[in-house]
Amino acid sequence: YTPVKKILTSLEFSEMHVNRNLQFANTKDNFWESALFVGLGYQLTTKIAFGAKYNVLYNKNKSIYNSPVIPFVNINF
């Protein structure tokens, strides 16, 4: 959604299946992780935008992401 020219807002829900085996930590994980991203970006052109999105459901102890803030680049065809 573009409320103002050159400013892009986004809302994205993502659900990922995590299956990881950390041999150095002797840990096995198998779970579903949900993420709700709220984003804000700047449109360089009508086809290209960049910005950052924030995961509202971020859990430091369980998330596969290092940070709740993730940069993004959108390219529309």
Q: Which position has the higher pLDDT, 55 or 76? A: 55
- CA 54/CA 56 separation, integer angstroms: 6
pLDDT digits (tens, 9 = 90+) for 21-71: 878 878 788 889 899 999 999 999 989 999 999 999 998 888 888 999 999
Give backbone dihedrals phi and psi of 6, rounded to 5 degrees, phi first: 80, -10
Could you tell me the pTM of the whole model?
Answer: 0.79
